[in-house]
């Protein structure tokens, strides 16, 4: 991709630095003149939103640690201390707790966007795999963080999830004892979860750098699912996409702020305002909403090892999508049958989430089993077979043609600096 101006340092200081560490040129080529497909829609703004949310979670998290005590007798009280005594503590804690949910909302939209437009296909497989790594790390980070307030849901969520490892044959109990540092979830568990909850976000940040690096090798996919062929197909990152990402971010922050200021506990669970009690399990344990589909899969297999294996498989199968989807056409805009199955899959995931929030009895169990079956059917049968039997619509010759139609457009030259 050529045609955009390269960085030329102007000030003496910039020249001095650039000769010693060419970081200004790297930032310039990555975030100023980087050529993005001109047809990117608002579904492409969630990468920027996620970067912002990661930074926001790290900033609020680092501040919360200044007031939090990771000790089983003091943790719950220290969270209440943050809520009642610390200046703006309520704001920072609510921003952090709801920020996790916002992170997952943006993450799931970002993932479904990739599935819809085939963003995982050649040459973006490594980009997709790095995204799956980020997702798994985020799931782990959010789980560890939810334990720290040491409420009833924290404690029993930690117990149930760590007990998943006891399903491993032969060494399962040894592994859970090792994870707990005792014979049950206790102070040792809280301490190590705190340590890892602080570590993992920085590992996520590292993988995000790799993710962006892998993105900037082929460049962004786009709604047409075809690669840019000429300068007419692209626009520089700044100002066209900085303003688009910025506008989307502001809209997203309005949504986020509405949760923080008006319904800060809507996505949480009232039982987590009861201090952890190892002697009593709450009547109805539910994980945070972003785990519910996988929780439903766990419960729908009537075997401990089978349920655990199915749950982990449901996450890991996402990594294999680039090789399970056999279609050569990327975008669902030109795949009429895949588009239907895509929305069926979205509905399947949402319904699985609903089943995960319901008690495991009666109709919910049967429905969850059917949905679990369909979840795996989508990846293992529908994706591979559809690519072979589906007849895609004609793909446009270029991105400019997809945007402007076949007639040459007067603006197509002027819009380009």
**Binding to another protein by residue 146, rule CB under 8 A?**
no
Q: Which of 181, 219, 264, 387 binds another protein (CB under 8 A)?
A: 181
Q: Which of 13, 23, 77, 188 binds another protein (CB under 8 A)?
A: 188
Q: Which of 184, 199, 385, 415 binds another protein (CB under 8 A)?
A: 184
Using DSSP, state whether 169 is helix, strand or coil.
Answer: coil
Q: Which is nearer to another protein, 169 or 410 (CB)?
A: 169
**Binding to another protein by residue 329, rule CB under 8 A?**
no
Closest distance of CB 310 from another protein, Å: 12
Q: Which is nearer to another protein, 43 or 198 (CB)?
A: 198
Q: 191 φ, ψ to 5°?
A: -60, -45
Closest distance of CB 193 from another protein, Å: 12
Q: Which is nearer to another protein, 227 or 271 (CB)?
A: 271
| Footprint (CB under 8 A) of another protein, residues 221-260 | none
Catalytic residue among 78, 232, 245, 331: 245
Q: Which is nearer to another protein, 289 or 320 (CB)?
A: 289
Closest distance of CB 289 from another protein, Å: 18
Q: Which of 18, 125, 186, 231 binds another protein (CB under 8 A)?
A: 186
- Rounded Cα distance between 56 and 68, Å, is 18
- Rounded Cα distance between 40 and 46, Å, is 12
- Rounded Cα distance between 289 and 284, Å, is 14
Element (H, E) at 388: helix 383-389
Which distant-in-sequence residues (6+ apart) come within 8 Å of 213 by Cβ? none
244 is catalytic: yes
Q: Which is nearer to another protein, 60 or 72 (CB)?
A: 72
Neighbours of 198 (CB within 10 A): 17
Catalytic residue among 67, 81, 216, 416: 216
Note the helical H segments in 118-241: 125-147, 152-163, 172-180, 187-216
What angle (nearest 5°) sits at the alpha carbon of residue 86, between those of residues 85 and 90?
Answer: 95
- Window contacting another protein (CB under 8 A); options: 163-171, 201-209, 220-228, 341-349: 163-171
**Burial, 412: exposed, middle or buried (Cβ in 10 Å; 0-12, 13-18, 19+)?**
middle
For tokens 């009642």, name the residue: 84
**Binding to another protein by residue 164, rule CB under 8 A?**
yes
Q: Which of 179, 333, 351, 402 binds another protein (CB under 8 A)?
A: 179
Catalytic residue among 28, 211, 232, 244: 244
Which distant-in-sequence residues (6+ apart) come within 8 Å of 405 by Cβ? none
Rg of the chain over Cα atoms, rounded to whole angstroms, equals 24
Element (H, E) at 36: strand 35-37
Measuring CA to CA, which residue among 314, 304, 333 is closest to residue 380?
A: 314
216 is catalytic: yes
| Footprint (CB under 8 A) of another protein, residues 273-312 | 278-285, 299, 302-305, 307
- Window contacting another protein (CB under 8 A); options: 154-162, 317-325, 345-353, 380-388: 154-162
Q: How many residues bind another protein (CB under 8 A)?
A: 35
245 is catalytic: yes
Q: Are 220 and 123 in contact (CB under 8 A)?
A: no
User: HSE of 394 in the Cβ direction (CA atoms, 13 Å)?
Assistant: 5
Q: CA dihedral defined by 96, 98, 103, 109, rounded to 10 degrees?
A: -170
Catalytic residue among 78, 119, 154, 220: 220
Closest distance of CB 298 from another protein, Å: 8
Catalytic residue among 121, 154, 197, 288: 288
| Cross-strand partners of 236 | 35
Q: Which is nearer to another protein, 362 or 410 (CB)?
A: 362
- Rounded Cα distance between 289 and 265, Å, is 13
| Footprint (CB under 8 A) of another protein, residues 350-369 | 359-361
Q: Which of 183, 363, 394, 406 binds another protein (CB under 8 A)?
A: 183
- Rounded Cα distance between 61 and 145, Å, is 10
Closest distance of CB 368 from another protein, Å: 12
Contact residues for another protein, defined by CB under 8 A: 156, 159-160, 162-164, 166, 177-184, 186, 188, 192, 278-285, 299, 302-305, 307, 359-361
- Active-site residue set: 216, 220, 244-245, 288
């Amino acid at each position: 991709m050529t045609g955009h101006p390269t960085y030329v340092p102007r000030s003496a200081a910039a020249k001095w630095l650039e000769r010693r560490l060419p970081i200004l040129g790297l930032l310039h080529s990555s975030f100023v003149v980087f050529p993005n497909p001109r047809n990117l829609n608002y579904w492409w703004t969630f990468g920027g939103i996620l970067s912002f949310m990661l930074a926001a979670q790290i900033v609020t998290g680092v501040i919360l640690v200044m007031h939090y005590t990771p000790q089983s007798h003091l943790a719950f009280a220290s969270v209440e201390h943050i809520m009642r005594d610390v200046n703006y503590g309520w704001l920072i804690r609510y921003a952090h707790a709801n920020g996790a949910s916002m992170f997952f909302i943006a993450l799931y939209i970002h993932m479904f966007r990739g599935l819809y437009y085939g963003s995982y296909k050649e040459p973006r497989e490594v980009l997709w795999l790095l995204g799956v790594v980020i997702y798994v790390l985020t799931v782990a980070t959010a789980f560890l963080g939810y334990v720290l307030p040491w409420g009833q849901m924290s404690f029993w969520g930690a117990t149930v999830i760590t007990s998943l490892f006891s399903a491993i044959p032969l060494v399962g109990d040894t592994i859970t004892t090792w994870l707990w540092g005792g014979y049950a979830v206790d102070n040792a568990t809280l301490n190590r979860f705190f340590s890892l909850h602080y570590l993992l976000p920085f590992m996520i940040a590292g993988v995000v750098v790799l993710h962006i690096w892998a993105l900037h090798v082929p460049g962004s996919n786009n709604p047409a699912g075809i690669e840019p062929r000429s300068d007419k197909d692209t626009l520089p990152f700044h100002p066209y996409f900085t303003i688009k990402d910025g506008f989307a971010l502001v809209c997203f922050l309005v949504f986020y702020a509405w949760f923080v200021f008006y319904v800060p506990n809507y996505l949480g669970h009232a039982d987590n305002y009861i201090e952890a009690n190892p002697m009593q399990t709450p009547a109805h344990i539910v994980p945070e909403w972003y785990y519910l589909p996988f929780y439903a899969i766990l419960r729908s297999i009537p075997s401990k090892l089978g349920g655990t294996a199915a749950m982990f498989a449901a996450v890991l199968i996402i990594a294999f999508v680039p090789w399970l989807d056999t279609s050569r056409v990327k975008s669902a805009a030109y795949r009429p049958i895949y588009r239907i199955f895509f929305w069926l899959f979205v509905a399947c995931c949402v319904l699985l989430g609903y089943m995960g929030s319901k008690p495991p009895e009666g109709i919910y169990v049967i429905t969850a089993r059917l949905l679990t079956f369909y979840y795996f059917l989508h990846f293992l049968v529908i994706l591979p077979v559809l690519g072979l039997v589906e007849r895609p619509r004609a793909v446009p010759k270029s991105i400019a043609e997809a945007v402007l139609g076949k007639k040459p457009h007067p603006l197509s030259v002027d819009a380009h600096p």
